[in-house]
Amino acid sequence: MEMQIEELVRSAGLPGEVTRILEQNGIRELYPPQRAAIEAGALAGQSLVLAAPTASGKTLVAELACLKAVLGRGGRALYLVPLRALAGEKYDDLAAKYSPLGVKVGISVGDYDRAQGRLAEADILVVTNERADSLLRHQASWLTEGLALVVLDEVHLLTDPYRGPTLEVVVAALRHRRPDVQLLALSATISNAEEIADWLSARAVVSDFRPVPLRTGVYLGGKLLLLQEGERPVPGGLGPVTDLVGEVVGEGGQVLVFVATRRSTQAAARRLGRPVRALLSPQEAAALEKLAQTAERVLEESTPVCRDLAACLVNGVAFHHAGLHPAQRRLVEQAFREGVLKAVCTTTTLAAGVNLPARRVIIRDLRRYYPGLGAGWIPTLEFHQMAGRAGRPGLDPYGEAVVIAKGEAEKEELLTRYLLAPPEKITSQLARSGNLPAYLLGAIVAGYAHSLPQVVEFFSRTLLARQYGLEELRGALGKSLEFLLAEELVRSWQGGLYPTPFGELVAKLYIHPLSGVVLRAGLRQAAGKAPGELALLHLLAHTPDMEGLRLRQAEVEKLTEVAAEEEFLLPVPGPKEPSHREFLEEVKVALALRAWINEASEAELEERFGLGPGDTYRLREEAAWLAYAAERLAGLFQLGVEGLVGLRMRLRYGVRAELLPLVQLTGVGRVRARVLFEAGFKGPEEIARRKPASLARLPSFGPALAKRVWEEARRLARLAGDKP
Ligand code: ADP
């Protein structure tokens, strides 16, 4: 029996408008897993783990449950996603569809908060797991007030060593505050759904339904063996990837190619250029020309990687990796969705990111280099995440996920290890991650636990406790607590546990407790002195909240020399000590940041440090935040450190201090600020005193931008003038 949407909406007590909105989105009747989820109580407050393939419509269940929570139960819903990019996507989607119903949708991912009305008034709030954790530490009571539903999207990320622990702790905190809240966990690749459901006091709904059938196969020596279809030759003779791409693009489909490294994404995209270009229509070629120009001009100054991207884009091919600027990544994703791009070569990180399906998905590299461990097979779960992207609903008759073998033996290996194997079980990474002290401090600061038994009780709601037992948990917590007490982040008094002001500040700044300890030590060293820029930047780089930059062997000697001439705030390990290499990696970060705040061009950063625009972006955000944390800690401990004030803004904008008054103007980045400064415009006042035309003449300014900047400068100058 098929369930009509109209009937469902009526029986769920939702307004009839919902039917119209869904029908506009092409939804007339429920897919089987959706029906199963609703029969299991998704709209009746029942917690569920919904384990079903990508594109099987899990999101719709979550949306309906949100509507039910808001419109039917008068409550609020929290939509948790693992990545910022996903949060943006989800927010746009929900707001477009449901704000006409009067549902207020909000998003909070850090500096960038948006809601129709105040955040606290949002009916559905989309947040990243990290942001939810941070808000909870600030005891933001509005977050859980009236909370009826929590959606946990991509819940398999529990098993990710970096992202999983936060989600676990957020779930524990939300359930601590609202024991009866409905949880709706979604994932495409979960093999122990029952166990996860048990942890969440939920029911498991498991389905292998796919609206677009998925074929999986292995390519070897010109032949493609599809498990569901049998073997057939692939024409071409230009190499496995090119042939596999050309075949599908020739039929009007699109292809995603997953490879192991950034460098390979670029090399693979370049190789595909000529054969794909040959398949483009003149209109497509014209559209791509425009796209390439836009992508190259995302930054004020283009870098080699920007130019490489532009050169690929004109051929209908792109690469996608973390070195690209977020705006460039969005352009690539958008163009692929619109069908303008035919193939995208990407690192496996995309598999965990935005929703970007393609008719054929080629997973070229199944081995990857793991720092400290060497090369190894990627987890089966990751393979399934990538494979699941094959098949665009509504566009493709089927999807194909293809791996490439180099010989018969490897073909067997790939079949048993990936194609025929289920994903690994989801397991807790909380004890292993090294972040337990951070979560423990967070729990004490948030007020969940005021004694050791209460701490244990709080953490007994984690997956760690469920999977490894209370003994394991007690051991791990005991060690973390010792550290927090020894470093005076927490005080113990008459059996109770209390955060010190230091501990409270560290938790609320959302930095690792060890980062707080490192910064405190460095700032004490620096107090009353004028430490060099490099010393301060190295202090930030030494915290566990910043990762070092990998060294090429050739750099070791040079960096050792540079380091020998500098003074640092922290003890420097000798060249024979095992931590010396790590130290050099931190020095490399500090050197890159120093170049950045002294206005080295992005191209230079790419050449000297291997930093793409996306890396610079990430690095500067992290460093700016830690600089802010350092400023706050210096305030707390009453330590005067010269050079610290202003560092945060310099890091954010990549400028010398003299440009700070200029970069506050919208549309003025580091390059234009320098142009203005050299032309004698030292701040908004100088700009306001002249005519817009005098700006329009400057390089990198057009008349429109000149006018906008001039108007804003005038406004700012007036504000400043009004001050007594
Ligand atoms: P998932 O969350 O499981 O990955 P999505 O919710 O993204 O799947 O669904 C994939 C596509 O299928 C979306 O474009 C969605 O609008 C569409 N879809 C979902 N449910 C239905 C349905 N019952 N009928 C038709 N299309 C649907």
Q: For the segment 434-478, what is each residue's pLDDT rounded down to a tens digit?
A: 899 999 999 999 999 999 999 999 999 999 999 999 888 899 999
Q: How confident is the model at residue 116 (pLDDT cuts 50, 70, 90)?
A: low
Tell me how long the chain is.
724
CA 127 to chain centre: 12
Give every CB contact of residue 597 below 8 A, 6+ residues apart in sequence.
533, 647, 650, 651, 654, 655, 656
Using the atom order of ligand 1, give the atom closest to the CA of residue 31.
23
Nearest to 247 by CA among 470, 433, 402, 17: 402
Asked if 232 contacts 417 with a C-beta cutoff of 8 angstroms, the reply is no
pLDDT of residue 351: 61
Locate tokens 């339904």: which residue?
209
Question: Whose alpha carbon is nearest atom 27 of ligand 1?
Answer: 27
Residue 35 to residue 55: CA distance in whole angstroms: 15
pLDDT digits over 120-135, tens only?
Answer: 889 999 999 999 999 9
Judged by phi (left if over 0) then psi (alpha if -120 to 50, else beta), residue 218 lies in beta
Residue 352 to residue 673: CA distance in whole angstroms: 37
Asked if 646 contacts 660 with a C-beta cutoff of 8 angstroms, the reply is yes
- DSSP annotation string for 340-352: ---EEEEEGGGGG
**pLDDT exceeds cutoff 50 at 530:** yes
**pLDDT exceeds cutoff 50 at 323:** yes
Asked if 224 contacts 217 with a C-beta cutoff of 8 angstroms, the reply is yes
Residue from 8, 60, 154 to probe ligand 1 pocket by mutation (most atoms less than 8 Å from CB): 60
- Pocket lining: 26 vs ligand 1, CB cutoff 6 Å: yes
pLDDT of residue 187: 95
Residue 314 to residue 724: CA distance in whole angstroms: 56
Overall average pLDDT of the 292-309 stretch: 91
| Mean pLDDT across the chain | 93
Ligand 1 centroid to Cα of residue 58, in Å, is: 7
Question: Whose alpha carbon is nearest atom 11 of ligand 1?
Answer: 55
Residue 284 to residue 281: CA distance in whole angstroms: 5
Residue 534 to residue 276: CA distance in whole angstroms: 47
- Percent of the chain predicted with pLDDT > 90: 82
Ligand 1 centroid to Cα of residue 688, in Å, is: 53
Ligand 1 centroid to Cα of residue 427, in Å, is: 28
Ligand 1 centroid to Cα of residue 384, in Å, is: 19
- Pocket lining: 352 vs ligand 1, CB cutoff 6 Å: no
- Pocket lining: 55 vs ligand 1, CB cutoff 6 Å: yes
Residue 386 to residue 463: CA distance in whole angstroms: 26
Asked if 69 contacts 63 with a C-beta cutoff of 8 angstroms, the reply is no
pLDDT of residue 483: 97
- Pocket lining: 526 vs ligand 1, CB cutoff 6 Å: no
Residue 174 to residue 167: CA distance in whole angstroms: 10
**pLDDT exceeds cutoff 80 at 37:** yes
Residue 217 to residue 228: CA distance in whole angstroms: 8
Residue 494 to residue 352: CA distance in whole angstroms: 46
Q: How confident is the model at residue 350 (pLDDT cuts 50, 70, 90)?
A: low
Question: Whose alpha carbon is nearest atom 16 of ligand 1?
Answer: 25
Q: How confident is the model at residue 111 (pLDDT cuts 50, 70, 90)?
A: low
Question: Whose alpha carbon is nearest atom 10 of ligand 1?
Answer: 55
Using the atom order of ligand 1, give the atom closest to the CA of residue 53.
3
Q: How far is CA 701 from CA 270, 371, 708, in A?
A: 33, 44, 11
- Percent of the chain predicted with pLDDT > 70: 98
Looking at the whole model, is its pTM more than 0.95?
no
pLDDT of residue 141: 82
CA 475 to chain centre: 32
pLDDT digits over 25-36, tens only?
Answer: 899 899 999 999
- DSSP alpha helix (H) spans, 510-601: 513-526, 533-542, 553-564, 580-597
Please write down the long-range contacts of 161-165, taking CB distance under 8 Å and 24 or more positions apart: 161/429, 161/432, 161/433, 162/433, 163/82, 163/129, 164/428, 164/429, 164/430, 164/433, 165/428, 165/429, 165/430, 165/433, 165/435, 165/436, 165/439
pLDDT digits over 213-246, tens only?
Answer: 999 999 999 999 999 999 999 999 999 999 999 9
**pLDDT exceeds cutoff 80 at 117:** no
Ligand 1 centroid to Cα of residue 245, in Å, is: 26
Q: How confident is the model at residue 1 (pLDDT cuts 50, 70, 90)?
A: very low
- Pocket lining: 31 vs ligand 1, CB cutoff 6 Å: yes
Written as one letter, the residue type at 409 is: A
- Number of Cβ atoms within 10 Å of the Cβ of 374: 7
pLDDT of residue 299: 85
Question: Whose alpha carbon is nearest atom 26 of ligand 1?
Answer: 27
Asked if 45 contacts 98 with a C-beta cutoff of 8 angstroms, the reply is no
Burial 330-339 (b: 16+ CB within 10 A, else e): bbbbebbeee
Residue 218 DSSP symbol: E
Nearest-10 crossing angle of helices 513-526, 436-446 = 90
pLDDT of residue 260: 93
Question: Whose alpha carbon is nearest atom 22 of ligand 1?
Answer: 27
Tokens in use for 317? 């091919």
- Pocket lining: 30 vs ligand 1, CB cutoff 6 Å: yes
**pLDDT exceeds cutoff 60 at 115:** no
Written as one letter, the residue type at 350 is: L
**pLDDT exceeds cutoff 80 at 388:** yes
Question: Three-class SS of residue 62?
Answer: helix
- Pocket lining: 25 vs ligand 1, CB cutoff 6 Å: yes
**pLDDT exceeds cutoff 80 at 723:** no
- Pocket lining: 56 vs ligand 1, CB cutoff 6 Å: yes
Tokens in use for 306? 């920007």
Written as one letter, the residue type at 87 is: A
CA dihedral 531, 534, 538, 541 (to 10 degrees): 130
pLDDT of residue 724: 44
- Number of Cβ atoms within 10 Å of the Cβ of 447: 11
Ligand 1 centroid to Cα of residue 31, in Å, is: 8
Using the atom order of ligand 1, give the atom closest to the CA of residue 56.
3
Judged by phi (left if over 0) then psi (alpha if -120 to 50, else beta), residue 369 lies in beta
Overall average pLDDT of the 598-627 stretch: 94
Using the atom order of ligand 1, give the atom closest to the CA of residue 30.
23
Q: How far is CA 463 from CA 78, 171, 425, in A?
A: 20, 9, 13
Q: Please give the helix or strand (H or E) that residue 77 lies within, else none.
A: strand 76-81
Question: Three-class SS of residue 414?
Answer: helix
Q: Which of 285-299, 345-359, 707-721 has the lowest mean pLDDT?
A: 345-359
Residue 151 to residue 133: CA distance in whole angstroms: 15
- Pocket lining: 60 vs ligand 1, CB cutoff 6 Å: yes
Ligand 1 centroid to Cα of residue 679, in Å, is: 55
**pLDDT exceeds cutoff 70 at 398:** yes
Ligand 1 centroid to Cα of residue 381, in Å, is: 22
Question: Whose alpha carbon is nearest atom 7 of ligand 1?
Answer: 55
Residue 138 DSSP symbol: T
- Number of Cβ atoms within 10 Å of the Cβ of 693: 11
Residue from 59, 208, 209 to probe ligand 1 pocket by mutation (most atoms less than 8 Å from CB): 59
- Number of Cβ atoms within 10 Å of the Cβ of 498: 13
Q: How far is CA 174 from CA 9, 235, 461, in A?
A: 29, 55, 10
Question: Three-class SS of residue 708?
Answer: helix
Asked if 417 contacts 377 with a C-beta cutoff of 8 angstroms, the reply is yes
Note the maximum CA span of the chain. Answer: 81
**Dihedral over Cα of 653, 658, 660, 663: its sign:** negative
pLDDT digits over 667-683, tens only?
Answer: 899 999 999 999 999 99
